[in-house]
Amino acid sequence: MTTDRQIVDMIEQAHDKKPFCACGRHTTPVERDGVVWLECASLGDAKGGRLARLVAALTAPSHTRVAIVDVPTFQPDRALVGWS
């Protein structure tokens, strides 16, 4: 089982290895569907008009998007260890 500290270390190491995408924008850790991804910041910026969304969709494969770690599901029993 991966501890919270190990998960944070894996995220920080991935970001330290690749702080920027090939397009020049910074990368950022993002959680989606139980996985933490390191993604180009431009992938989350597709909020403009039709042209901006089209350009974002067409260029998405060339931007950084790497899975870092699966996020463990919350376990209430584990969270309460040490509490009386």
Q: pLDDT tens digit string along 21-63? A: 888 889 999 998 889 999 988 877 656 678 777 777 787 778 8
Asked whether residue 62 is assigned to any structural domain, the reply reads yes
Q: Look at residue 23 in the predicted model and tell me its pLDDT.
A: 84
Asked whether residue 80 is assigned to any structural domain, the reply reads no
Asked whether residue 84 is assigned to any structural domain, the reply reads no
**Backbone region of residue 24 per phi and psi (left: phi > 0; alpha: psi in -120 to 50; beta: other values):** left
Residue appearing with tokens 């919270």 = 4
More confident residue, 74 or 32: 32
Our measurement of the distance from residue 77's CA atom to the centroid of its chain's CA atoms, rounded to an integer in Å, reads 27
Q: In the predicted model, what is the mean pLDDT of residues 7-19? A: 93
Whether the pLDDT of residue 2 is over 80: the answer is: no
Structural domain count of the chain? 1
Q: How confident is the model at residue 82 (pLDDT cuts 50, 70, 90)?
A: low
